Amino acid sequence: MNADDTPEPDHVLPSARTLVPTTALRRSARMASLPVGYAGRTALGFGKRIGGKPAEAVAHEMQMRTAEQVFRVLGELKGGAMKFGQAMSIFEAGLPEEVAGPYRATLTKLQDAAPALPAETVHAVMAENLGSDWRMRFADFDDHPAAAASIGQVHRAVYRDGRIVAVKVQYPGAGKALMSDFNQLARMARMFGSMVPGMDLKPLLDELKDRVAEELDYLGESENQRGFAVAFEGDPEYLIPHVLSASPQVIVTEWIDGISLAEIIRDGTREQRDHYGYLYQKFLLSAPARARLLHADPHPGNFRAMPDGRLGVLDFGAVAKLPDGLPLAMGELMRRAEFHDSVAVMEGLRVEGFIRPGVDIDPEDLLNYLEPLVEPSRHESFHYTRDWMRGQYRRLQDPRNKDFTIGLKFNLPPEYLLIHRVWLGATGVLCQLDTNVRTRDILNEWVPGFAPPETD
């Protein structure tokens, strides 16, 4: 028996083993195929150029083949590897067009259209979770998934009472695959931790591991969804489907129609971009006050543009519980940054743990570094664009700029981990949407501490 044939737990179904590799060695080998495959295609491209094919055509062909391999490998691995691909799809707005262009459609597919499991595997998971008579619960069950993502896939079905429902089925072995990928990424993070002297990695990695594990808990996810659904019940702007039943690996919820925000990104009108961009940002920032929960997976595949103009919201596995809402310090520091109070901003960030003891930063340089977080609030309506995002990305990632050095001095407190993920991820999605949003109005209404205190 070799390392690739390490026995897997009995609950991992045989048909899933070839589709969702779970051993660290096997998954590492599959991920390693990405750069190896790229090298092979580069050699092939060189041969084609010698044979007379135009360089531009060869380059485009190589990029498209690489993009398809990214989709296939990350999609089949699922777990953390696929989540990484989904994160890439959010942040491609910051990459140069010549780099991002060939991969945009392929990475977008990872948001809700990954390679699916065969029907027999799905049926086995359903029987294990709902009983051998699971089909009695449904008048009809579509074996072809309506969406397939990193941890589970969704099937359209008709419930026994006639309601159309969404049945979310977790991939067998998804837990082992996700934690395997996380452990590899954690080892890499520790290896490069010395390059970011301002970051305290251990508590951050511990928090991240806990949050990753929560995404595997479908019973916990169902409770999150119930909390959101109650908080937004009857809202004229949002629709959150109710949970009908749940088990460790299966959730049955109401079905909602509509098109993914990814389709609005690709083909939306100006009216759609501005309307849904506003609803998207408002939902993410208002939910902590309304539901005491933060939806922490902001990629477009989790949001639906409804026929009646409402925004439908899906997938509540990644959620931060915020019993007191968003931190008061968050809004207060943004307001101080807006009014260029650099010393107060630096001291506030130090108190919150973003700047560790002994780390010195010039207050004015710090304020300049934070400008991308503050600039949208300076305008009555801010236009989020890929060009704006790329400009910020170039500035912050250029080693010749002070901003690059300041970034190395920053720490991320564990309690801000998911808030930070949502803020950056949502900004990337808004830039992809090319949307005009009244961000300042949203911050004033929903982020505590941002609005100036009222005076008598």
Rounded Cα gap, residues 414 and 421, in angstroms: 11
Rounded Cα gap, residues 293 and 316, in angstroms: 10
- What token pair was written down for 374? 């503050």
Amino acid identity of residue 410, one-letter, is F
- What token pair was written down for 339? 């009014």
List the single range of 5-19, 120-134, 217-231 with lowest mean pLDDT: 5-19
Exposed (0-12), middle (13-18) or buried (19+): which is 247, by Cβ within 10 Å?
A: middle
- What token pair was written down for 220? 């916990």
**Letter string b/e over residues 88-108, b meaning 16 or more CB atoms within 10 A of that residue's CB:** bbbbbbbbeeeebebbbebbb
Q: What is the pTM of this model?
A: 0.76
Rounded Cα gap, residues 62 and 48, in angstroms: 11
4-25 average pLDDT score: 41
Residues 268-295 pLDDT 10s: 999 999 999 999 999 999 999 999 999 9
From the list 58, 60, 48, the residue with the least C-alpha distance to 102 is 60
366-380 average pLDDT score: 90
List the single range of 56-65, 92-101, 345-354, 447-456 with lowest mean pLDDT: 56-65
Query: Quick check: 455 pLDDT over 90?
Result: no
Residues 285 and 423 sit within 8 Å (Cβ to Cβ): no
Q: How confident is residue 402, by pLDDT bands cut at 50, 70 and 90?
A: confident
Query: Quick check: 188 pLDDT over 70?
Result: no
Angle 417-433/386-397 helices, nearest 10 degrees?
A: 130
Residues 78-120 pLDDT 10s: 444 444 444 444 455 555 555 555 545 555 555 445 567 789 9
Query: Quick check: 345 pLDDT over 80?
Result: yes
Rounded Cα gap, residues 453 and 53, in angstroms: 66
Residues in a beta bridge with 313:
303
Selected residue with higher pLDDT from 404 and 248: 248
Residues 305-342 pLDDT 10s: 999 999 999 999 989 999 999 999 999 999 999 889 99
Rounded Cα gap, residues 19 and 128, in angstroms: 19
